[in-house]
Amino acid sequence: MNEHAQGQKPVTLIINTRAYSWASNKISFEQLIDLVYPGQPLTEQDSVTVRYSRGHDGHGAGTLTAGNSVAVKEGMVFDVVRTARS
């Protein structure tokens, strides 16, 4: 799942309180879901919220939505929450 860019030094991301090594300069909404919920595809009833903090200047905190990505840096924190609608 990790995208390894040539010459890119891996950074440690904190996702749902767990440390993950990431070797790309960006991470997408979909890549975060794959890391946290491997082999568990989303269904129509699933909703996922991705929030981040400790990001780059000007983009230090925010919400990531489907189809989008964010530049990462060492120690960046992500909260990925999956809920099922009933």
Per residue in 61-71, pLDDT (tens digit) is: 999 999 999 99
The answer as to whether 5 is a domain residue is: no
The answer as to whether 2 is a domain residue is: no
Distance, CA of 54 to CA of 4 (rounded, Å): 22
Q: What is the pLDDT of residue 52?
A: 96
The answer as to whether 3 is a domain residue is: no
Per residue in 72-86, pLDDT (tens digit) is: 999 999 999 999 887
Q: What is the pLDDT of residue 60?
A: 85
> Residue 32 in 3-state DSSP?
helix
Domain of residue 80, residue span: 11-84
Domains: count for the chain? 1
CATH number for the domain spanning 80: value is 3.10.20
Distance, CA of 61 to CA of 63 (rounded, Å): 7
The answer as to whether 50 is a domain residue is: yes
